Structure 1
């Protein structure tokens, strides 16, 4: 066995992949039956890739104790990207009614969470110590709460029952669980988080390779189904008129 030359401790940033993992990935990619292609293309490699994506999404949801009837999986670059998309969806849901909306975040949240306040520009943002919120008998009503389940700085895990307290003040509050740090160290069931509306995470914090893959997992609801992004990209449309700019998005929420 080679002598260890360094010690790696930055698992809050990204964990290290195992040798067996890298070997299996490489072997699978070299198999002819496993040749990957564009999932929007209608040929064998494209259809194989689309099937794999569907299977992976089901595995992800099963890992968190839910299924595709309850949640949708949107692949992203990382947790920060997931939170940005979440903010876009929230703005779309509330539309022009956002002037009086309120966002609550805790002081010990990741910088990506704090950055959301600059996307929700018309919202009133409140930043508080976690203990300040939980110690109050009654809390003010908020419209969106982003819970960082585990601090990436201190490693502290926060009490999930804060969600119940906030829902007592506003039953319609949207809950976003930032599980980026926690998912790399602990088994998670969405039931323990009272089935949040949004979950943001990065997969490379769980298994290290490949990097640049995260997810925004979204609870299916009437509100979410109304979401329609501004514009479109690549395979997200069924129709586009190059002269008028008219377009029709795909009906599947995950493909919009």
Structure 2
């Protein structure tokens, strides 16, 4: 694999599904210096596992199924010749059989969310999620892998904190990854985007209706009884990551 070092900033934003990840991609796409890509390993993940997600064949046909080719794209590409390349990455897509060396060539950020809200949202779209579906275990695995290899913890940000104060938390995030905050990140147009993955019609309908980060919904969510064990397990991984989450500076 060609691990070319260059001056451009490559940002891999690692999350599970239903983590505010699409809104964050839309947010970064509004920057004047940034291009984005939507879940580049999705087709390779499905082709390797054979898991029958919604729109399985469409994703396979539209995407790149060779994970090494995808990895090279993530480290060597400079879409639209812009200085910042933002990659919306799903942790569960980074299978143990894939070469992960490319990850050390990019700026890694971990976007986390309260598992109760993840599970409730995922269950509404695809019933009865398993731990492997929501990606939080894989988040901690990749976080610890990067920490051990580099000697420092990657940046972690909680989606709940972003919703509470988008400008403050995005400013803190940009500072943590050494790019300037741009106010344009706070707004986008409604509807489908040219950079959406082919799976967007199944998963993105609610975010298509948005033009900014929604006000936080702090109402408790109801988890079906048979998913409470999953919630308990997921919380263990989430709480360990939560301890590293960046905190907005106090005035």
TM-score in terms of structure 1 length: 0.30
TM-score in terms of structure 2 length: 0.30
Greater share of strand: 1
Greater share of helix: 2
Q: Which has the larger radius of gyration?
A: 1
Structure showing greater relative contact order (alpha-carbon pairs closer than 8 Å, 6 or more residues apart): 2
